[in-house]
Amino acid sequence: MNAEQVIAAKFGGSSLADAKQFRKVKEIVESDPGRRYVVPSAPGKRFEGDEKVTDLLYEYYAQLSRGEDGADTQKKIRARYQEIIDELGLSVSLEKEFERIEYAFSKGAGEAYAASRGEYLCGLLLADYLGYEFVDAAEVVRFGQDGHFEDERTNFFLKGRLARAQRAVVPGFYGADDAGEIHTFTRGGSDVTGALVARAVQADRYENWTDVSGFLLADPAIVKDPKKIDAMTFAELRELSYRGAAVLHEDAVYPARREGIPIHIRNTNHPDETGTLICRKLEPEQEVSITGIAGRKSFAAISIAKNRMNAQIDFCHRLLEAFDENHITFEHMPSGIDTISVILPLEEYREKQEAITASLQRLLHPDKISVDEDMALVTVVGKGMRSESGIAARFFGSLGEAKVNIKMIDMGSNEINCTIGVSNGDFETAIRALYQALVL
């Protein structure tokens, strides 16, 4: 690698689960002098059946909030960190930190504060082990008091602070508002912090180190030994992440995409493997017809029928108003001449079923409203969906041969994806059939 490059490297919980993993991380960081900014998660599971530190912190805080002792859980948390300190021979002591945490917990510091301490403590240890400067994310990642993330202010603070740090560790997942109260991103939010750091230092590359060797073309729990995706565009990543391909937190894409910083998914346990590169535009030799197949279950389809619907100029406006006034988001909106369907998460529909039905009746005066609560969405992503003849025939032919009934078809406006709706019971069958036909 070019030593002049600046690299932001985020390491996930499995990469920092114990002292053995810490040693792997140090070897990776020191193998390239460009890895100057490191973002750690909290220690994850060491083995099957083990507990993540973040989950232990949630449990400990809940126990104290209920007036319970919590001593056993606290001992587990302390032991995880002390084991790393002892095995690596670190000079740092966390005793005062645990005293502060216990005091804050007793004063009702909140779940966000509790969860954030896993990354905070891990960052202290990693900074000591690497010989890097520790920068508390609470000082540089800004949230409003309502918990809303403040993008531009964060970039301002991060940029200024890291300009004074040649090599730094910034713990992931959390930040703070101006009053000092801790707020967190959603689970997996260390990915977001890594991307924010990459943006702030104008990194040449954002490396995301985890326990898999990149994105796979399909879920390995459904398709046996799926192929790895060597490279994809930001647009393709966005589609796959949104459809359920969970390797990278989807909000981590935006800061890197905005600045054109390539994201490289790598495996801490197999650092010699090439991983998956995500960038704005692929080279011709990197392009493939099908980038990936992903999907999710448990959606509802609300179908509205109204004669001459297409002649009513404001019909779609009123339809969207019905969802807006009930604060409901939707996934797809396929339509015909006299019918239109809205696909939304089943749980959200059931929570607001009566309210949304009343709004639709009042605003649209439909001839009929019908609801299908047995819907799964499967999406195929790749440039072949628009540019390669025969793809569509293989796509639909494979589903017919597998006896999968298609309930809905939606070709994305960017023409790199095609989404179908099937019954939840046909979800896995559809993905296997499409993988066989389009990839193999």
Distances (CA, A) of 24 to 28, 81, 98, 268, 415: 6, 17, 26, 7, 41
Q: Is residue 2 part of a domain?
A: no
Least confident of 7-16, 151-160, 195-204, 314-323: 314-323
Residue 384 CA to residue 386 CA, distance in Å, equals 5
Is residue 1 pLDDT above 50, yes or no? no
Q: Is residue 339 part of a domain?
A: yes
End of a domain among 259, 284, 309? 284
CA torsion 434-333-372-237 (nearest 10°) is 40
End of a domain among 241, 256, 284? 284
> Mean of the pLDDT values across residues 204-210?
97
User: How big is the chain, counted in residues?
Assistant: 440
Q: pTM for the whole thing?
A: 0.86
Residue 212 CA to residue 248 CA, distance in Å, equals 11
Both 262 and 376 in one domain: the answer is no
End of a domain among 262, 284, 306? 284
Both 279 and 417 in one domain: the answer is no
Bridge partners of 369? 304
Give percent above pLDDT 90 in the chain: 79
Is residue 389 pLDDT above 80, yes or no? no
Both 270 and 301 in one domain: the answer is no
Tell me the three state secondary structure of residue 251.
Answer: helix
Residue 211 CA to residue 216 CA, distance in Å, equals 13
Tell me the three state secondary structure of residue 167.
Answer: coil
Q: What is the CATH number of the domain that holds 104?
A: 3.40.1160.10
- Name the pLDDT band for 384 (thresholds 50, 70, 90): low
Contact 282, 207 (CB under 8 A): no
> Is the Cα dihedral 82, 83, 86, 91 positive or negative?
negative
Q: Is residue 151 part of a domain?
A: yes
What pLDDT is attached to residue 236?
Answer: 87
Total count of domains within the chain: 2
Both 183 and 140 in one domain: the answer is yes
Q: What is the CATH number of the domain that holds 352?
A: 3.30.2130.10
Q: What would the pLDDT profile of 67-121 be if each residue is shown by its tens digit?
A: 999 999 999 999 999 999 999 999 999 999 999 999 999 999 999 999 999 999 9
Residue linked to tokens 């002591």 = 93
Which of these, 334, 330, 332, 323, lies nearest to 363 by C-alpha position?
323
Distances (CA, A) of 30 to 21, 206, 350: 14, 16, 52
Tell me the three state secondary structure of residue 342.
Answer: strand
Q: Is residue 143 part of a domain?
A: yes
Least confident of 8-17, 142-151, 249-258: 249-258
Residue 431 CA to residue 379 CA, distance in Å, equals 9
Both 330 and 187 in one domain: the answer is no
What pLDDT is attached to residue 274?
Answer: 95
> Mean of the pLDDT values across residues 281-295?
86
Q: Is residue 1 part of a domain?
A: no
Q: Residue 139 carries which side chain, given as an amino acid letter?
A: E
- Name the pLDDT band for 4 (thresholds 50, 70, 90): confident
Q: Is residue 148 part of a domain?
A: yes
Both 268 and 348 in one domain: the answer is no
Residue 229 CA to residue 240 CA, distance in Å, equals 11
What pLDDT is attached to residue 18?
Answer: 98
Q: What would the pLDDT profile of 343-370 be if each residue is shown by its tens digit?
A: 999 999 999 999 999 999 999 999 999 9
Least confident of 172-186, 200-214, 250-264: 250-264
Residue linked to tokens 């599971």 = 45
Both 274 and 315 in one domain: the answer is no
Bridge partners of 302? 342, 371
What pLDDT is attached to residue 288?
Answer: 84
- Two structure tokens written together for 192: 């977001």
Both 280 and 354 in one domain: the answer is no
Q: What would the pLDDT profile of 123-153 be if each residue is shown by its tens digit?
A: 999 999 999 999 999 999 999 999 999 999 9
**Which distant-in-sequence residues (6+ apart) come within 8 Å of 383 by Cβ?**
287, 289, 291, 416
Contact 77, 57 (CB under 8 A): yes
- Name the pLDDT band for 200 (thresholds 50, 70, 90): very high
Is residue 14 pLDDT above 60, yes or no? yes
What pLDDT is attached to residue 311?
Answer: 83
Both 192 and 301 in one domain: the answer is no
What pLDDT is attached to residue 310?
Answer: 81
Contact 239, 233 (CB under 8 A): no
> Mean of the pLDDT values across residues 324-337?
89
Least confident of 32-36, 185-189, 243-247: 243-247
> Mean of the pLDDT values across residues 170-190?
95
Both 258 and 297 in one domain: the answer is no
Both 317 and 252 in one domain: the answer is no
Is residue 24 pLDDT above 90, yes or no? yes
Where in the sequence is the domain holding 307, given as residue range(s)?
Answer: 292-438
Residue 413 CA to residue 395 CA, distance in Å, equals 18
Give the chain's largest Cα–Cα span.
Answer: 76
- Two structure tokens written together for 136: 């508390």
Both 305 and 159 in one domain: the answer is no
